[in-house]
Amino acid sequence: MQGTKIRVEPPGEKAKKIVEETQKYLSPSIQRNYPFVIKQGKGAILEDVDGNRYIDMNAGIAVLALGTAPDPVVKAIESQARKFIHYSYTDFYYENIVTLAKELIKITPGRFEKKVYYGNSGAEAVEAAIKLTRYHSKRPRFLAFIGAFHGRTMGAVSLTASKPAQVRGFSPLLSGVEHVPYPYCYRCPFHMSYPECNLYCVDYIKENLFQKYVPPDEVAAAFIEPIQGEGGYVVPPDGYFKKFFKLMKDNEIIVVDDEVQAGMGRTGKWFAIEHFGVEPDVILVAKALASGLPLSALVSRAELMSWPPGSHATTFGGNPVAVEAAIATIDTIRKMKLLDNAEKVGAYMMKRLKEIEEKHEIVGDVRGKGLMIGAEIVKNKKSKEPNPAGANKIVEYSWKHGVLLITAGISTLRFAPPLIITEDLAEKALDVIEEGIKEAGKN
Ligand SMILES: Cc1ncc(COP(=O)(O)O)c(C=O)c1O
């Protein structure tokens, strides 16, 4: 499959029928950007059920690092499925969970002893981290960030603070969670400017939480996203995490780095936190880990894993087929040098998007690392007023013209293509998206 091709205006007849039936038979709790109905795909090109072809800027929401249906992963899945599809690592043993654990220990930052726990989803890794850190520290509270997204199960959603709809109607949530401002310099919550601010947002935690109403010796863990994902692809400024980690260390608070969206090479390094020169105590991995099969991992400093047998487990976690897919994914990322590709194509996309930002009044801020890039759409550069209608128009225009892209945060275009994307395909996609920006800017 090559390039884009729109045969019928999407959604075509087949897509419409599937969407209608989905609405009739499935839970309405899911919010989608536009009715793209996939039939199949290869690499960074996808085909819908009406025969239209698209360039993929979503990677199934930062999951398909190797693109759709990558041969090495398909082969690994087939081969393992013939041997055994399941045999509960909660009660028995098999070898590949050890092979993958060793790989994860190798590629995650920190040259200290580590241990791995497997789950099925990002939220499950977050739940495990909540329980592990509470158990180990014997402390009840947590810190998380405004704008954070950590998942939708009861514990994970208590740490989440990115959209009211995610929490509305579900209280009471987990008690003891305090949210603090994320270092979102384009919209600094303190109306300060970096670097003159001296990273006041860290001092704020000390002066207003720790010295007033959140005894730090009651805080088990701080959950961070190294780059905020659902919150709008927000990149902290240099020095932020060094100062934040020091405050946590001074108070013996465990730092849990949620790399569910940013990890596995997306930013040009295995884990996004490596850009900031700090080493978290716990790292959470999911999404791209097994190229789309459900698998998550919690990789922790070994000494934190003091929870006893019987305290935490799951039937499907560490499923042997998903684990084989993960081993093949890591191997292929290495063989194809995809960290380098993410950096190279990411640099190209960033340059082009910065040029687009210069030219178009409704593009307020472009930021990112590697192939995790956000372009925030605003009413105009001076007011910086978020422009969700504009962002939605651009995304819809792109879809209708053969490029799959979604938003993050209130009005940010979210670029998260497969790590195998070429500069040529990225250029084609950006040509279409720039036309969409022009159109949206007319109103
Ligand atoms: C940073 C982060 N953490 C956790 C999750 C939850 O993962 P899942 O949807 O697999 O439960 C997500 C999902 O988008 C995420 O981006």
Cα(413)–Cα(373) distance, rounded to whole angstroms? 8
Q: Is 229 in the pocket of ligand 1 (CB under 6 A)?
A: yes
CA angle 398, 400, 401 (to 5 degrees): 65
- Give residue 167 CA to ligand 1 midpoint distance, Å: 15
82: exposed, middle or buried (C-beta count within 10 Å: 0-12, 13-18, 19+)? exposed
72-335: in CATH 3.40.50.1100: no
Whether the Cβ atoms of residue 225 and residue 145 lie closer than 8 Å to each other: yes
Q: What is the mean pLDDT of residues 298-302?
A: 98
Q: What is the DSSP letter of 351?
A: H
pTM of the entire structure?
0.98
pLDDT at 3: 77
**Residue 1 pLDDT more than 80?**
no
Question: What separation in Å is there between the alpha carbon of 346 and the centre of ligand 1?
Answer: 22
The pLDDT tens digits for 242-277 are 999 999 999 999 999 999 999 999 999 999 999 999
Q: Where are the domains of the chain?
A: 13-56+337-441, 72-335
Length of the chain: 443
Coil, helix or strand at residue 302? helix
pLDDT digits over 132-148, tens only? 999 999 999 999 999 99
Q: Does residue 257 line the site of ligand 1, with CB under 6 A?
A: no
Evaluate whether 126 touches 286 at the Cβ level (below 8 Å).
no
If you measure from the C-alpha of residue 170 to the centroid of ligand 1, how many angstroms do you get, rounded to a whole number?
18
Q: 349 vs 127, 367, 441, CA distance in Å?
A: 35, 11, 21
Cα 150 to ligand 1 centre (Å)? 5
Q: How far apart are alpha carbons 386 and 390 in whole angstroms?
A: 9
CA 403 to chain centre: 20
In the CATH hierarchy, which fold is given to the domain comprising 13-56+337-441? Aspartate Aminotransferase, domain 1 (3.90.1150)
Asked if residue 138 lies in contact with residue 326, where contact means CB atoms within 8 angstroms, the answer is: no
Ligand 1 pocket check for 425: Cβ under 6 Å: no
CA angle at 261 for the pair 255 and 266, rounded to the nearest 5°: 110
The model's pLDDT over 353-406, given as tens digits with 9 standing for 90+, comes to: 999 999 999 999 999 999 999 999 999 999 999 999 999 999 999 999 999 999
